[in-house]
Structure 1
Amino acid sequence: MGLFDTIYNRKNTRSVKWDLLKPIFQTDDVLPMWVADMDFKAPEAVNDALKARADHGIYGYTIVDEDVKSSVGNWIKNRHDWEVDQNWLSFSPGVVTSINMAIQAFTEPEEKVLIQTPVYTPFYSAINNHNRELVKNPLLKKDNYYHIDFNDFEEKLQQGVKLFILCSPHNPVGRVWTKEELEEMGRLCMKYDVLIVSDEIHADLVYPGVKHIPIATVSQEVADQTITCMSPSKTFNLAGLQASYIITPDKKKRDALNEHLGKQGHHILNMMGNTAMEAAYLQGAEWLDELRSVLQDNKDYVTKMLAEQTSELEVTKTEGTYLLWIDCSKLNMNSKELKKFMIEEARVGLNGGAEYGEEGETYMRMNIACPRQTLEEGVQRIINAVNNR
């Protein structure tokens, strides 16, 4: 059985995905294909490194040393053609933490923060919880593919936006932005002096033949205007180990961010996250390449099956992430009815599209990072439910 074919029992492991079914879906009788973690084991090199560290048996205060920073820098250079100075790096427990810290460090209450909707739910809470004004630049969908509305983007920036949270690759619509799109976003943010906070946690999870471009690489000027948040957590299924980093080329901004991270006590990594990150970046490339191939096959399977066996469901064209954005508008259900249908009739636990903004009212988000047997079961449940309506 292949590396990504084995089915592991994740119940009773304090798993958000598997052990919170009752509170989230009001039933245990759903197949969880929702929250963005994978049902695959991390690379063996990571598990071996964690075991070796545990065997030492002493878990005192830990540092992020030059070896760890070097592993990060080399990974970004090799995967994303970006030469990152180790001095640009800061560390935090997670990308969501980093985004919250940036909002606090670089904006004041009631100042405007822009997002491109529908988008990752914590962007909303990061803005609203800190009493900032949320500004939307809704993405446009044409021919089953999402685009940026640049006229609206500039119009919104003109209204006094201080900070723009970019999702790149985009969750949930799966876009991997082109160099031209990134250059235009960068140009407009420079024109109106808007700080870019770029969530690039899915950077490594692009489909074969697709290239992720960090927005900070489009020009030196844009780099100095950008704070990039990255992590191995999505790439290697390490979310529970809470390890991420921030890349800030501009020293003044980096110092301000580090001061804020220190004030909040979020400036260090836990020992196991530190260990896992280094091992993954040093020895995880082959594992990742195999994973990307598996995800491509999984995406193709879901897209083909839903197109051939239903007339109501359409998978949005995507280039990255292991999350599919499924258009369910032809079912003629509102978001509440749609979620109820997927739980009670299909018995599949998906994320309701409305969680990502009103633009997602008739969509569902599906996590396809699971063994094929699990995927086929989930897809067949959905097809049967739709066709038996």
Structure 2
Amino acid sequence: MNSSVSALPLSTLSPANEALTLRLPSSLQLKQQLPLTNTLTRQVAAQRQAVRAILNGEDSRLLVIVGPCSIHDPRSALEYATHLARLAIEVSDEMLLVMRAYVEKPRTTVGWKGLAYDPHLDGSDDMAGGLTLSRELMRDMLQLGLPIATELLQPMAAGYFDDLLSWVAIGARTTESQIHREMASGLGMPVGFKNGTDGGVTVASDAMRSAAHPHRHFGVDSQGHPAIIQTPGNADTHLVLRGGHGGPNYDRQSVARVHSDLTRLKIPARIMVDCSHANSGKDPLRQPAVFNDVLEQRLQGDRSLIGMMLESHLFDGCQALSPSLRYGVSVTDGCLGWDGTEDLLRQAAIRLRAQRD
């Protein structure tokens, strides 16, 4: 993978109180450099519709967003995607598996911000190279037949990837942001809003209501110019439960309470459970227990539970950034390894088939 589009300097080193500015390629330029074929464009449209059908109850399959917490190594991510693509076909009668391809990471204070920001993992922040590498990697995953999911953290970056994606997350830290709600209202794919870090769902409920409406807002067009963006509103949103400071919120009582709150607000009760973060106590090896608990709720008739999210990589755990990284191990949140993920999803498919039979 070559990063041939580079940032252009607009100024030399500035006084200490001024920022250094580098010009990035526009989203249009990058899309022209790394275009989608007509076949892939039709594939993305079909995959988006498949996700919508699950949200709307027209498809009874389980939606599963699964993959690394963040992608830092394209080679191991593509190896993971190859495994997932094979499994996706095997379980396609009961589950729609969507590759989690997160190239931006929110930071509580400071830290590595993701492949799109710092692809060399060395603080050089080659964002032009990162955007190119991220788009190329996502396109390679699409060519394996996988739907692609990501969290859109920086609205200005969304235009570099929006034609590749079948599902988007708005994270717990940004669900309250008006800018992200405006962005979601103009996206052409389903969007999951996570509950706030306090564990409450009011912020996410407000976000879904806001995103469903048209907006006019400040933005950037495909050529990189400041623009007034007019959005049509996005009806294809749903809630993602990820727990909070008070602990998990995937249990039956919590889900029933959330279902009641959404119904009262006249918001479709479409709930995904993030099996990581506070729901697993930040222990990646507890994700299967969370997944199976939610699956049991669904098997017992709770159709508001439309899907789950898993943080998963080739190998269990996580590692700190260093000059000698272990292959296939996350550098951000801990992940469940591939062997455990594959077994979990295969067993889930067996249980879902048994109920159907």
TM-score (norm 2): 0.29
> Which structure's CA Rg is the greater one?
1
Higher RCO, 1 or 2 (CA under 8 Å, sep at least 6)?
Answer: 1
TM-score of the superposed pair, with normalisation by structure 1: 0.27
